[in-house]
Chain A
Amino acid sequence: MKKFNSSMNLPAYLFLSPALVLMGLFLIIPALMAIYYAFTDYYLLTPDNKQFVGLANFIEIFNDPIFLESLKNIVLFVVCVIPIQIGAALGLALLINKNRKGNIFFKIAYFAPVVLSLVVISVLWLYLLNPSEGLINVLLEKVGIDPQPFLSSPKQALYTIVFVSAWQGAGYQMLIFLAGLQNIPGSVYEASKIDGANKWQNFIHITLPLLRPTTLLIMITTFIAAFKLIIQPMVMTQGGPMNSTMTPVYYIYQSGFSDRLIGYSSAMTVVFGVVIGLITIVQNKLSKGDD
């Protein structure tokens, strides 16, 4: 056992200081400022005029149709993207987890979109999905499907972003699933083979339960990341058409940065931040109670 040694305080805090200063400046202070500004009418261009307005901002945001729409959109996005992306990732991992010729090629191909940044995939798909001359509609027409409006339709835009996001992210989670699959000892399958289990029974009773920790980890990280969606709608649709792809983080950005309504934007930060924080805590509790 080490004895407490107060002479270690100075060197310890010297080693900690760069990280502490930076986290203080760009995480703790901004968080506290957001909480404070949320109760004021701070407008960026008149910083000296900010007044305490109580709960006015909070009342206003819950009467703001765009903010409510953004909440609805993000819930829809998360509910769609999670099963699609994680399901695709698991399916791909199961396909790849095999010794066959050329397997490495398929693995690289499925992973390829991960290498593209969010800005790159957003701009690239903007061209591919162009309603009149984009590659996708040209190809659809060849197989006899009518051209689709995709991002220019309030009905299709959000689902299009779901598809593009899942397409980009699935390959990374495929690798995580693959690592999980390879951790399952082959002897488990051999034992069940002796018991006469078929492939499907193996999958349901052995593979899936043993992948549970991996799946939970992927779910938690995907869930939180999906809630913070902003780049794809920002680059592809600017939140439109008719706010159908507006998301909370994007709206926080627009009202705080473009409209300079710091107080109003901060109230949304507080509400949305608390929601994400609570979801994170609940998920962590659930996954810990699991094992």
Chain B
Amino acid sequence: MSTPVKRVIEYTFLILLASIFIFPMIWMIASSMKPEGDIYVDMGTIQSFFPSVNPSEWFQTYQDLFARFDVLKYVFNSVMYAVIVTAGSIVVNAMAGYAFAKFNFTGKKFLFGLLLSLLIVPMETLIITQFTVAHELGILNTRLAVVLPMLANMLFIYLFRNFFKAVPDEIIESVQLDGANYWTIFWKIILPMSKPAIATVGTLSFIASWNDYLWPLMVLTDTEKFPLQVAITNINSTPPVYTNQVMAILTLSTIPLIIVYIVAQKYLLQGLGGSGTGIK
């Protein structure tokens, strides 16, 4: 076979494959930018993958959606939960990682082994007794309940510990001679040196929190505290259900993640086996 023919076949195959992966997203965005009736009129034609021919209708769905639901509140909630989880997870896990990397203390080996072995406990199967704990603590239906269980993560502690181990002891000792205490060393010396580890843990925590669904669904009863993921299924089951409005909330909830994936792409692969979406 001549090379140009081979090339055409190769590219046709790659494009067909690509369309399998992206057509749902394109249909989702296109459907959010046209009147409800047009979605079903266009269905199956090439127009079903394009927004309304009339640009003035493009954002009408979004206006209707914002008029029916307090979408800004949901966006605000999701951003707030994700930012708190991201910052909290960096601080909590970096502190623990620092202790394991740079301190000698009684029970260190035992504790580290114990925490590592806890990695085999499948968290998702514990949701019911986690809920009972939240109930006992009296934090059900509070924003605190949404973020607290997402902070400590042994994988992230492990990641920080390995990173901190590479920091030479001499640096720490020399600052110690100048009279700096452990806390100052941690904040002023160790953390600023650890940007790659912070970025990895931060990215993975943000995504995990943004996508979290089951736990906030269980602990929250006030709709005004709902994050976007819970709001999605709520909107999808509040009659009258309009397909274009559902696609609009799906699109809105995805935009921040697209930004995160673009900005932080090089940190995505470093926390393998960590939290994230679905089956990875």
A120 and B128 within 8 A (CB): no
- Does A97 count as interface, using CB distance less than 8 angstroms? no
Given A33-B133, A231-B213, is A276 in contact with B127 using a C-beta cutoff of 8 Å? no
- Does A249 count as interface, using CB distance less than 8 angstroms? yes
Q: CB-nearest residue of chain B relative to A179?
A: B269
B48 and A135 within 8 A (CB): yes
- Does A85 count as interface, using CB distance less than 8 angstroms? yes
Name the interface residues of B118-151: CB closer than 8 Å to any CB of A: 118-133, 137, 148-149, 151
Name the interface residues of B159-205: CB closer than 8 Å to any CB of A: 182, 186
**B215 CB to nearest A CB, Å:** 10
List, in ascending order, chain A residues with CB within 8 A of B12's CB.
none
A27 and B95 within 8 A (CB): no
List, in ascending order, chain B residues with CB within 8 A of A210's CB.
none
Count A/B pairs, Cβ under 8 Å.
263
Interface residues of A, CB < 8 Å — how many?
97
Name the interface residues of B222-277: CB closer than 8 Å to any CB of A: 229, 232-233, 236, 243, 246-247, 250, 253-254, 257-258, 261, 268-269, 272-273, 276-277
List, in ascending order, chain B residues with CB within 8 A of A135's CB.
27, 43-44, 48
A280 and B125 within 8 A (CB): no
CB contact between B22 and one of A109, A117, A281 (< 8 Å): that residue: A109
- Does B18 count as interface, using CB distance less than 8 angstroms? yes
- Does B3 count as interface, using CB distance less than 8 angstroms? no
A262 and B211 within 8 A (CB): no
B254 and A169 within 8 A (CB): no
A22 and B280 within 8 A (CB): no
Chain B interface size band reads: 35 or more
How far is A114 from B279 in the complex, measured between Cα atoms in Å?
A: 10
- Does B214 count as interface, using CB distance less than 8 angstroms? yes
B258 and A115 within 8 A (CB): yes
B148 and A26 within 8 A (CB): yes
- Does B74 count as interface, using CB distance less than 8 angstroms? no
Given A28-B118, A116-B25, is A231 in contact with B279 using a C-beta cutoff of 8 Å? no
List, in ascending order, chain A residues with CB within 8 A of B100's CB.
16
Chain B at the A interface: SS class: helix
- Does A273 count as interface, using CB distance less than 8 angstroms? yes
List, in ascending order, chain B residues with CB within 8 A of A184's CB.
none
How far is A128 from B40 in the complex, measured between Cα atoms in Å?
A: 12
Given A16-B96, A27-B126, A222-B280, is A277 in contact with B21 using a C-beta cutoff of 8 Å? no
Q: Which of A37, A106, A116: most chain B Cβ within 10 A?
A: A116
**A241 CB to nearest B CB, Å:** 18
How far is A167 from B280 in the complex, measured between Cα atoms in Å?
A: 12
How far is A171 from B265 in the complex, measured between Cα atoms in Å?
A: 13
A231 and B214 within 8 A (CB): yes
- Does B99 count as interface, using CB distance less than 8 angstroms? yes
Question: Which of A4-12, A54-62, A63-71, A187-195 makes up part of the contact surface?
Answer: A4-12
How far is A4 from B108 in the complex, measured between Cα atoms in Å?
A: 12
How far is A138 from B48 in the complex, measured between Cα atoms in Å?
A: 11
Q: CB-nearest residue of chain B relative to A112?
A: B22
Given A257-B128, A257-B131, A273-B121, is A169 in contact with B278 using a C-beta cutoff of 8 Å? yes
List the interface of chain B (C-beta within 8 A of A): 11, 14, 17-22, 24-25, 27-28, 40, 43-44, 48, 91-93, 95-96, 98-100, 103-106, 108, 111, 115, 118-133, 137, 148-149, 151-152, 154, 157, 182, 186, 210-211, 213-214, 218, 229, 232-233, 236, 243, 246-247, 250, 253-254, 257-258, 261, 268-269, 272-273, 276-280
What 7 additional pairs, Cβ within 8 angstroms, besides A85-B279, A113-B21, A231-B213?
A: A18-B152, A116-B254, A117-B213, A118-B277, A169-B280, A228-B122, A256-B131
Q: What 9 pairs between A and B have smallest CB-CB spacing?
A: A256-B128, A138-B44, A109-B18, A12-B105, A19-B96, A30-B129, A22-B152, A12-B103, A15-B99
CB<8 Å pairs between A and B, sample of 7: A15-B95, A112-B21, A115-B261, A123-B246, A172-B280, A229-B279, A281-B120
List the interface of chain A (C-beta within 8 A of B): 2, 4-6, 8-9, 11-13, 15-16, 18-20, 22-23, 25-31, 33-34, 37, 81, 85, 92, 95, 102, 105-106, 109-110, 112-121, 123-125, 127-128, 133, 135, 138-139, 141-142, 165-169, 171-173, 175-176, 179, 217, 220-222, 224-231, 234-235, 248-249, 252-253, 256-257, 262, 265-266, 269, 272-273, 276-277, 280-281
